[in-house]
Chain A
Amino acid sequence: MAGQSGMVDPAIFEDLQARVDEDTAVRDELKDIIQALEKHNRTISFVLSRAHSTPVANLSSVLISAQDSIQNAVETVAKLSQSASKLPYYKFNSMWSRQVQDAIFGILFWGWLGGYKPTGSTPKCGRLLTVEELGEILKVPVNLKDRDEFHLTIEEYLQALISLVEELSRLARNSVTLGDYERPLLINQFVKDVLAGFQILNLKNDSLRRRSDGLKYKVKDVEDVVYDLSLRDLLPKKVEE
């Protein structure tokens, strides 16, 4: 308490100011990385949006060019992970959570379209990458509990999965436009399986709950497409086992 003549020891507020300023500096540093990630996410979605107008047969060129932008995102996430791991995760994670969700979504969509080639297996369309696989692709830990470092959370994965369903309901319609009557069936089964998963979760009143409430409408959109096709007898015969 040296130097204190009045009520307040000046050191108290000097110390607080220093702490607050340090947080601001940390945030500024993270902001640059997060902005870069946002840019890469936009590129990924720009490249992948061509899937809506590209027949499955020609999709591989789209997937390959997406891979480059995904690589950029992976490198940026590595930077983010490095900086953020020095900090308490939940103190700052709201800064980047949306961008990480978008990156996960991009990779999920790419993987669903058949871009992911794990060693020892052939790529296939309609594949859902698990949160562990995403951790491998992004080279970051997943659902950490025992240590306070950067990682992907289950919530981020689920949010991205909702985005994937939304994107696929759009792809179902666009597939028909491209003359592809098979893919809507694949999408139909997939979004139903995902919805069944969401239905067993006990979600509280948060953004995950609100967005997952909309899933059933997306599933219905896809069902309508399948219905339209079946009504006109356009469904590929072999699928109706």
Chain B
Amino acid sequence: MTDAKADPPSSPYLAMFERFRAELDEHHDRRERIIKASRDITAASKKIIFTLQRVRNLGEPVPQFVVKSNTQYWGAIQKQYQAISVDLQGLNRHRYRQITGGNQEFMEALSFQHYLETQTLISYDAAKARIAAMSGEGGAVELTPEDYVLGIFDMVGELMRFSITSMATNGKLPAGRPNKDKRLKQEPPEEQAGDKMDIDEQTAISAEAPEPRNVLNDLRELRLRLEMFEPPQEGKFQDDVEQKMKVMRQCVDKVEKALYSLTVRGKERPKGWLPAASEDKRAAVESY
């Protein structure tokens, strides 16, 4: 063994170091595979989110064009999770934190679609189970509570964009269907019938039942929950939460401001006017 490397006149420790080299090489290979998979999962998740931003309705399965366009990306993510699941088992379950970026971005995509379809926040357990299912036979890739929370913070940004786009194009905040719980369970939603029902019931119900929740109601609730959440008093997770908390608040603020301008000035504007875009420009000018 020691003769294999001829140049240094055989150090008595060479055999030992050769063993170490094999171990370390294995470790670095695993790490690199995970870094790559994490990057690919991030990229595919971003594309999913991008398509999801074209959805206009809340509380119903995403339209066919979204499903069609995103199937390949969900597939790509699954392939990546399967490829590295073996590397993240047993002792190594928490060894390679490099997966955290991919997990967070995936959480963002998963929770965004879940929200669009159900108008609820996907639970940690459900998200964890989803990744476990995608990891295949190699065993589950672990989704940490930290990655879940950070992914949800990022999802707020998507809800903000979703709201602003909707206000700009439809002139109103996306909202759920009235009495959604009763109706949707009885009859699966159909595009046309669903829309009509929407209008009919909105007028009929307003007297007795509360208004359906809109995205801003949900954003405010989510903001409250995230603000109540207490991260550990030290470490990277706390830093991340602190930084994302700021961004999250700004996102909710933006929707509130956009809704304000829609309420105050909306009626004076012709249909098709883009309040959000013009507000943004105005703010930029004022700040100079």
Contacts and interface: CB of A to CB of B under 8 A. Distances in A.
A202 B11 contact: no
A199 B8 contact: yes
B90 A147 contact: yes
Contact of B12 (A11, A193, A202): A193
B121 A202 contact: no
Contact of B17 (A11, A20, A200): A200
Main secondary structure of the interface of A (DSSP, over half): helix
A237 interface: no
Interface stretch (B74-82, B130-138, B215-223, B275-283): B215-223
Contact of B230 (A20, A91, A197): A20
Interface string B1-24: 000010010011110111011011
A7 B230 contact: no
B218 A6 contact: yes
A197 B221 contact: no
Contacts of B11: 192-194, 196-197
A199 B5 CA distance: 11
Nearest to A130: B16
Interface in B1-54: 5, 8, 11-14, 16-18, 20-21, 23-25, 28, 31
B225 A154 contact: no
B109 to A, nearest CB: 18
B152 to A, nearest CB: 9
A145 interface: yes
A11 B23 CA distance: 43
Interface stretch (B92-100, B182-190, B246-254): B92-100
Nearest to A149: B91
A24 interface: yes
Interface in A132-159: 143-148, 154-155, 158
A240 interface: no
Contacts of A154: 20, 23-24
Given A8-B120, A193-B12, A24 B23 contact: no
A193 B13 CA distance: 7
Interface in A88-130: 88-91, 128, 130
Given A6-B217, A154-B24, A197-B17, A16 B124 contact: yes
B223 to A, nearest CB: 10
Contacts of B148: 16
A11 B145 CA distance: 14
B41 to A, nearest CB: 20
Nearest to B18: A200
A220 interface: no
A204 B28 contact: yes
B23 A143 contact: yes
B86 to A, nearest CB: 13
Contacts of A194: 11, 13
A84 B276 CA distance: 53
A90 to B, nearest CB: 4
A201 interface: yes
A196 B95 CA distance: 29
Interface in B197-247: 213, 217-218, 221-222, 225, 228-233
Nearest to B25: A202
Contacts of B14: 196-197, 200
Contact of A8 (B8, B21, B225, B230): B225
B119 interface: yes
B120 A17 contact: no
Interface in A1-47: 1, 4, 6-13, 15-17, 19-21, 23-24, 27
Contacts of B115: 7
Given A196-B13, A201-B20, A23 B94 contact: no
B28 A16 contact: no
Contacts of B121: 7-9, 12
17 contacts: A4-B120, A7-B115, A7-B120, A9-B121, A12-B225, A13-B229, A16-B229, A17-B230, A27-B232, A90-B91, A154-B23, A194-B11, A196-B11, A197-B11, A200-B18, A201-B20, A202-B21
